[in-house]
Amino acid sequence: MKFVRFTWRMLPLFALVSLIIFACNKNDHPAISGQPSSKATLLMNATNDMVQASTLESEDVADIVGSADSSACPVVTFAPSRNDYPHTKTLDYGSGCMGADSVTRQGIKVITFYMNPDSASIGTLISEVTYNNFSVNGISMTGTVDTYIDSSSTNTMRILKVVSVKTLTGTNGDSKLFSSTNYWKQTQGGNTATHKDDVFQVTGSAYGTETLDGATQVEWTSTINANKPVIKPADCNHRTKGEVDANLTVITGGTSNFTEVLDYGNGDCDNIATLSINGGTPQQVTLPLYFWPLSL
């Protein structure tokens, strides 16, 4: 069996009014109408944090299981060799390299493989990801990603348990922390030599915070709906199906709580999803979100 491989300037009054009208027409979202723009912006950013967290985890899993697209970058080396255990896999993006997902990464990611994932015992820690001067689109990243053979695995269908704890820090000092525990189960491609036909079913939960000017502004939790698990094909840069239920607390301007349902769609490989907030009508969105209140 092949193992799962898995500041803006003041504007003239008429221009400002025009922008506001444009924003309202463009972003007519029944669930958040009437919210102050600053709070809506924080809500938008927090939702993007959730999407970003899942995207980064998908990338890490692809690097671990060997299904990542390495046609352009990074430079990959193994020490002492990829067939010896333990060994390290180093992905060096140098001074910056844009991947197939149009994301620019810089610096070094190191994956330590402790055991052969094809033969590791159930419950075993098989790998750990760490970062060295690593950034994503100019945002510094630190943290770890530990991957285990989950206890619910069988000899014919192993499941990865992926535990991530990461901090993203901008050049202005603002930071985002997220942690997650997700379970990756392969549903297709397990009997072929290539990994590009692999498809994974993902369940689990995540937690995150956004800190601005030294104070926590947003907290969020998300859970993948167990009845609608997320589907991630190895040959697609996006999650293509499944539903994530989230709770967000925006602290700025008085604490406000929101519930969201993010639906990744019907299986098409695209960055289109639907988003419902506080039970509002689901709206089609393009990920990442730039549709409200105003893209400044």
Q: What is the mean pLDDT of residues 249-255?
A: 85
Q: Which residues pair with 283 in a beta bridge?
A: 275
Nearest to 167 by CA among 177, 158, 157: 177
What single-letter amino acid sits at 11?
L
At residue 1, the pLDDT reads 42
CA distance 27 to 69: 35
Q: Residue 213: its pLDDT value, please?
A: 78
What is the average pLDDT value for the chain, to the nearest integer? 81
Please tell me the predicted confidence (pLDDT) of residue 36: 42
Tell me, what DSSP letter sits at residue 18? H
Write down the pLDDT at residue 25.
36
Confidence label for 87 from pLDDT (cuts 50, 70 and 90): very high
How does pLDDT run across 113-146, given as a tens digit for each residue? 999 887 888 899 999 999 999 999 899 999 999 9
Q: How confident is the model at residue 148 (pLDDT cuts 50, 70, 90)?
A: very high
Kindly provide the residue ranges of all beta strands, DSSP E only, lying in 114-250, ordered along the sequence.
Answer: 125-136, 139-149, 159-169, 175-188, 199-212, 215-224, 230-233, 241-250
Torsion over CA: 188, 191, 196, 201 (sign): positive
Is pLDDT above 70 for 171? yes
**pLDDT bracket for residue 150 (50, 70, 90):** very high
Q: Where exactly are the structural domains of the chain?
A: 13-286
